[in-house]
Every structure is written in C-alpha cells, then in structure tokens.
Amino acid sequence: MRKLKPSFQNLVNENRHKILEDKKVMEEIEEKIEARQEQAIKIKTK
C-alpha cells in the first residue's frame, strides 16, 4: 500500500475504527433480535 498523507491516513484509520464499532453494535442488535425471536417461538409453542 502506498503511503498516504498523514491527515488522510488518520481519517482512514478513524473510519476503519468507526466501521468496526458499528459492526460490533450491529452484531449485538442481531443477537437481541434472535433472542426475542426464540422467546416468541417458545411462547407460541406453549
């Protein structure tokens, strides 16, 4: 990878960090949705 200007490199790194944080949040939300769906299925089958 060629060297980018430091200011631009910082932006790229910040964006990468934000994307990783967003992915983490999305995964947590997906887990909550799955848990709710499982609960809904359990309630329906009672």
pLDDT at 45: 85
Sign (positive or negative) of CA dihedral 23, 29, 32, 34: negative
Per residue in 1-46, pLDDT (tens digit) is: 677 788 999 999 999 999 999 999 999 999 999 999 999 999 888 7
The pTM of this model reads: 0.64
Residues recorded for the chain: 46
Beta-carbon neighbour count of residue 30 at 10 Å? 10
pLDDT at 1: 63
pLDDT at 2: 73
Q: Decide if 4 contacts 12 (C-beta within 8 A).
A: yes
Beta-carbon neighbour count of residue 38 at 10 Å? 10
